[in-house]
Amino acid sequence: MIGGARPQHARIVKGNPVPDNPTRSSLRLCVAIVAAASLGAATSAHAGCPRARSQNSDVATTITFVNHSGEYRGIYWKDFSGNDKSYGGLNPGERKTISTYLTHPWEITNGPGDCLQLVFPRPGGSIV
C-alpha cells in the first residue's frame, strides 16, 4: 500500500468477478445495456420471437395452421428481408393452408400481436 490507499480487488459473485472500482462498474453496466439493446434489435417486430427471414424458394411445400386455442391468432410470413407480411388470421376453430417453401419462416401471434411461435414448414407439408 502506498499512502495508506487500499488496492481495489474484484469480488466473486456466483462465479463472476465484480469490480469494486466504480469506473469499472459503470463500464460493465454500459456494456450490459448495449448488449441488451443489441438483443432487442435481433428480435422480430412482434415481441417474443427471434429474427428470421426467408432464404430461397427452391423446395415447394404447404403449411396448415389450425387454431385450437380459444383466441384469435395472426399469421405472418417472414420475407427475404425479415419483414412481416400478414396472411390474415384465424378465429378459434378455423384452419388455413398456405403454399410456401421449406426455408420460409412463419410467425404465429396472439391478438395484441405478440409472437407465440416461429415455425418452418417441413417437406411434404406441415400442420401447426
Instruction: Give tens-digit pLDDT for 70-106.
Output: 999 999 999 999 999 999 999 999 999 999 999 999 9
Q: Which three cell numbers stand for residue 40?
A: 432487442
- Asked whether residue 4 is assigned to any structural domain, the reply reads no
- Asked whether residue 53 is assigned to any structural domain, the reply reads no
Answer yes or no: do 69 and 115 share one domain: yes
76: containing domain: 60-127
Answer yes or no: do 37 and 84 share one domain: no
Q: How far is CA 95 from CA 14, 68, 69, 82, in A?
A: 49, 9, 12, 25
- Asked whether residue 1 is assigned to any structural domain, the reply reads no
Question: pTM of the entire structure?
Answer: 0.65
Which domain CATH number covers 74?
2.60.40.780
Distance in angstroms (rounded) separating the CA atoms of residues 64 and 67 = 10
Distance in angstroms (rounded) separating the CA atoms of residues 87 and 75 = 5
Q: Which pLDDT belongs to residue 104? A: 98
Q: Which three cell numbers stand for residue 14?
A: 456466483
Number of domains within the chain: 2
- Asked whether residue 89 is assigned to any structural domain, the reply reads yes
- Asked whether residue 102 is assigned to any structural domain, the reply reads yes
Q: Which pLDDT belongs to residue 75? A: 98
Answer yes or no: do 85 and 113 share one domain: yes
Categorize the per-residue pLDDT at 108 as very low, low, confident or very high, splitting at 50, 70 and 90.
Answer: very high
- Asked whether residue 108 is assigned to any structural domain, the reply reads yes
